[in-house]
Amino acid sequence: MNKLPRASALALSITALLFLPPAHAETKIEPDASGSGVATTLDRLTVTGARATGRTIENSPAPIDVISAQELESTTRTDLFEALNNTLPAWNTPVRANASDLGSMIRVGQLRGLSPNHTLVLVNGKRWHTTALFGAGGLTGQAPVDLATFPTGAIQRLEVLRDGASAIYGSDAIAGVVNIITSQQAEGGEVAYRYGVNDGGEGELHTLTARAGFGLGQEGYINFAIQYDDQDPTITSTDVPLDYPLFFLRDADGNPVVPTGSVWRPQIPEGATLDPREHEVDRGRWRWPINGRRKSELRGFTANAGTPLGESTELFAFFNHARRQAWAPQFFRPVWRDDVVRVIHPDGFQPKEEIREQSVGGTIGLRGSLAGDWQWETSVTHGQDAIRAYIHDSINPTFGLDSQTSFYLGKVRYAATTWNLDLRRGFEVGLASPLELSLGAEARQEDYRKWAGDPQSYTHGGGLILDGPNAGKPYSRAVGYSQALAGFSPDDAVEVGRDNWAVYAGLSLNPVERWTVDLAARHEDYEDFGTASTWRLSSRVELGRRWALRGTASTGFQAPALAAQAHKFTQNSPAGVTYTLQVGSPQAQALGARPLRPEESENYSIGLVFQPWDGASAALDVYRIDVDNRIATSTSISGDSYPGALPLLQSLGYGRADAVSYLLNAANTRNEGVEATFEASSDLGRFGSVRWTAAGNWTRGELRSVAPTPAVLADYDVPVFSRGNSNLLLLLSPKSKQILSADWELGRWSTLLRFTRYGSLERYGVPVGRPASEEVAYTLDPVWITDLDIGFQLNDHLRLAVTASNLFNQLPDRLPAVLTQPGQYYSYPVNGPVSADGGFYSASIEYRW
C-alpha cells in the first residue's frame, strides 16, 4: 500500500498538540424549526468533506453536492440510484449493466466513471453495509451498497463528496462518498401517494410514503418513516419473428424435425416447413422481456431518534428495515429444444427468477463533551443484507416427469458490525482561527455466507430424453440444472469472515486569514491481506471577496469484497454453461489465477470557486484518479470464443459449450475529468422567483497497463483480460453529461424544468455464438432528456403534482443488427443511462401537518 510520508513528524506534531491549551471559541448550536439540536445552517452544513465542525458547502476545500428531499421527490422515482442519476452529472446509473440473471435485479451506480465499489455510502456519517449479491448489476467483482433498499421518504438530504476520502472513512471511498442524512423532525409529518406509468401503458408504479416526528422528552426527537413501492415490469423487445421457430419443424411426411444451426441462430433445413401453429400462436406472448424494467416490491421502515442525557451527553440511534421482492424473466425455451420436458411444458416455457431480499441496519451511539475541552462520540453500527433466490416456470429435464418446476436456488448473506470512537478538540496556537484536531479508532467485523439450494437445482438426474427426434438419448452435463440458472451446490456453500481495525487523525487549520487546510491520515489492518496507510491533503485559499482556489491530493484503497476470494458461480444459458471459478480453486490456478490484492489509488484535483454576482455561485474542478490493481473478471474462455483453447478446457473437464473465467487484479486505470457547476436565484417580483442550476461532467478513462497473460493462456492465444472486459471498466459511463434546470415558484404554484444531455457512448459486442475475434464496435449517439414537475399547493396541508420524466419519449439508439438477440427484430442496449422504456408520467398527492 501507499506509505504515509513523514508519518513520524506528523505523529510528533499531534502529540504536542494534545498538551496545548484548549480554544475558547466554539460553534453555537441552536434548535432549528423542527426542534432538533443541529446547527442553524443545517441546509448548507456538511459532515462529508472533513471531520472538522463548521464546514459548509461554501467553504469546503472539496466539491460537495447537497440534494434536498424536495429534489428527490421531483425525480418521480423512489429509487435513490435514479434520483442521483437525475441530479448529478458525475453520477451514472446504467439501465442495467449487461445482466440477465440475479444481478439484473440489483442495480449499481458510478461516481466519476469508476466502479460502483469505489463509492462509499454512509448513513448519518456511519458506514453502511453492502449488498449480499456479489456481481450486482451484472458486474462481477462488485458488491456495493444497494441504495434501492433505502426508503427515500426517510431522507432529509443527501451529501455527495466528489473526491477521494479513504484517509477519512477507509476502504471504498476512492471516487467519493454518498452520505444519507435522515430526518430529525420532532413534530408534524406527511403522507404521500404517487401513481405513474411508462409510455405505452407498461411499468405501472404505485408508491406510498409516510413520515411523522414526535418529541422525545423535553429536547429530543423520534422520527418514523415507512414506504411501499410496487413497480410493474416493462418490455422493450419485439414479437418473436417467424424465422425463429417455437415448435418442431416438419418434414415432407409431417414428422418432427429439429432446426439446424445453433440454439442462438436456428436454421430451417432444406425440405422442412414450419409447424402450422407458428402462424396461430401469439408471438408477442414470448417476447424477450429480459431488457425491460424488472417487477419489484419494496417495503421499508426507518426510525431515527436523539435525546439529551444530562447537560453534556446525547443518545442517538437509527434503524432501517427493508424487504424487497423482484422478478426477472429469462429467455424462452421453445418446444423443439430437448431441455423442454414437453409433457410438462407442451408449448415451451419461460423461466422467471425471483429474489427475496431483507436489509436491516442500525446505529446506536453517544456523543458529548469532556470537561468542556474534548468533544467525543462513540457508536456501533450493524447491518446485514440477506437474499434468497428462486426460479419458477423452469425444469431440470434430467429428472424427467419427476422434475420440480419451481426451485429454491440458495441464499447469500453479508453482515458487518463497525465500532467507532471519535475525539475532537480545538486549540489556540496563534493562527487565524483555532486549530482543530480529530482522532479516532474503528474496528469492523464482516461475515459472508452462502447456502445451497434444492438438490434438483444443481444435480444431474440421469434421465433420458423422453420424446422427439432424440428420444432415448442421454442428456449432456450442460442441462443438469434448473434451467436458466443453477442453484448453489454444497460445493458452492461457503462461510468466511474477517476483522479489521483502523486508527486515524485529522487537522483542520487556518494558517492565515482566508486560507484553510485539512490534513488526514489513516492506518488500517486487515487480517486477510495486511495493512493499508492513506493520507489526504485539502486546501482552500480565498483570492478575494468572490474568488477561491481549492485542491486535494490523496491516496486511497478498496479492499477486495469479502465474497471475492470465495466467489464461484454457475450459470446455464441456451448455448451452454458458464462457470466463474473460485480464485483459489485448482481449475482457476491451472488457468493462471492468483490471490486478489487490494486496489490502490492516487487522487488529485484542483478547482476554482467564484461568485459572479451576489446570490450566484459557480465552480470548476479538474481531477485525475489513478487506480492500480483493478479487480475484474478475466476473459471468458470457451471453445466458441477461442477455438484453439478447447484442448486446455477439455484437460480441466470442460466441454465445447462451457465457458470459464475467474477474478483477477486485471488492470491499472486512469480517469480524468472536468466538472462545472453554477447556481443562481432570480427574484421576479410578482412573477415569483426562479432557482437556476447548470452542471456538467466531462470524463475519459484509459488503461495504463493490463495484467500480464499467464503462460498457460498465452500458449493458446487467450488474453487473460479481453478488450470486451476492459471496456466495462472504462466505457460504462457517458463521455459527458450536462444538467440544466429552472425551479420556478409563484404563489401556490411550483414548476421544475430540467434538461439532461447524456454524451456519446462507445460500445463493443460479440455476435451471439461467434468467436471473440469478431467483436463489433459501435457508438450510441448523445441523447437529450426533458423532465417536468408541476406542483400546486391547495392549502397549508395538501399539495398535488404531476411529473414527466423523459417528457418527449426519447429512446437510445438500437443495437447493430448483428448484435441483436435471437428471436428479435431489433433490440436496445441495456448498459447505457437512457432506458428504452421511454417516457414516464406520474401524479402525486401529499398531505402535511
Report the CATH number that the domain containing residue 218 is assigned in CATH. Answer: 2.40.170.20
Of 116, 104, 151, the closest CA to residue 389 belongs to 104
Residue 273 lies in a domain: no
pLDDT of residue 638: 86
pLDDT of residue 54: 53
pLDDT of residue 170: 92
Kindly state the greatest CA–CA separation across the chain: 101
The gap from C-alpha 562 to its chain's centroid, in whole angstroms, comes to 17
Of 158, 52, 7, the closest CA to residue 555 belongs to 7
Within 13 Å and on the Cβ side, how many CA atoms surround 493?
A: 11
Q: What is the DSSP letter of 821?
A: P
Per the document, the length of the chain is 849
Residue 274 lies in a domain: no
Residue 25 lies in a domain: yes
Amino acid at 336: W
d(CA 396, CA 483): 6
Residues of the chain with pLDDT under 70: 1-58, 75-78, 96-100, 138, 140, 286-290, 372, 572-575, 769
Residue 1 lies in a domain: no
Residue 267 lies in a domain: no
d(CA 601, CA 557): 6
Q: Under 8 Å CB-to-CB from 560, ≥6 apart: which residues?
A: 529, 596, 597, 598, 599, 631
Of 6, 32, 47, the closest CA to residue 422 belongs to 47
- Number of domains the chain contains: 1
pLDDT of residue 289: 53
Residue 804 lies in a domain: yes
How many CB atoms within 10 Å of residue 411?
18
Do the strands 576-581 and 658-683 form a parallel or antiparallel pair, or are they unpaired?
parallel
pTM score above 0.75: yes
Name the grid cell of 410: 440458495
Do the strands 435-451 and 637-638 form a parallel or antiparallel pair, or are they unpaired?
unpaired
Range of the domain at 836: 7-241+283-848
What 3-state class would DSSP assign to 8? helix
Q: What is the DSSP letter of 23?
A: P
pLDDT of residue 61: 86
Residue 270 lies in a domain: no
CA-CA distances (angstroms) from residue 585 to 320, 591, 652, 731?
A: 38, 10, 12, 31
pLDDT of residue 125: 93
Percentages helix, strand, coil for the chain, rounded to the nearest 5?
10, 45, 45
Residue 577 lies in a domain: yes
CA-CA distances (angstroms) from residue 291 to 95, 99, 235, 285?
A: 9, 9, 7, 15
